A = this chain, B = another copy of it.
Amino acid sequence: MRGQVVVRLKREVLDPQGVTIGKALDNLGYEGVGSLRQGKVFDVELETNDPAAARSALESMARDLLANPVIEDYEIQLLDEGSAGEGLVTEEEGRA
């Protein structure tokens, strides 16, 4: 199965990258951009075909390694064999 872990800075944490990119978009003439924040996405291929097992593996990877619980939250999506983003199966959110 394929899965995805999206890791984002917590809302209240400063995101210097997002701020700089937002300003750059302003300078490029993009108006109407309210805010921009940058996160990370991990595309993981898992050998298991059991959604529950896959989800719990992703969950613990996110907690143990992919997200820094002090400043980041994560979100998990399980995808079918199709391309990333398509075939949304389920999703879970957590304060890492």
Copies of this chain, complex-wide, total: 2
> Within 8 Å of chain B (Cβ to Cβ): is A16?
no
Question: Contact: A93 with B83, CB < 8 Å?
Answer: yes
- Say which size band chain A's interface belongs to: 35 or more
Q: How far is the CB of A70 from chain B (nearest CB, A)?
A: 18
Task: Give the chain B neighbours of A24 by CB distance below 8 A.
Answer: 65
Q: Which of B30, B43, B86, B93 contacts A61 (CB 8 A)?
A: B30
Q: A19 near B: Cβ within 8 Å?
A: no
Nearest CB in chain B: distance from A55 CB, A: 13
Given contacts A35-B45, A37-B42, 6 further A-B contacts (CB under 8 A): A18-B42, A30-B57, A36-B43, A36-B45, A75-B85, A77-B85
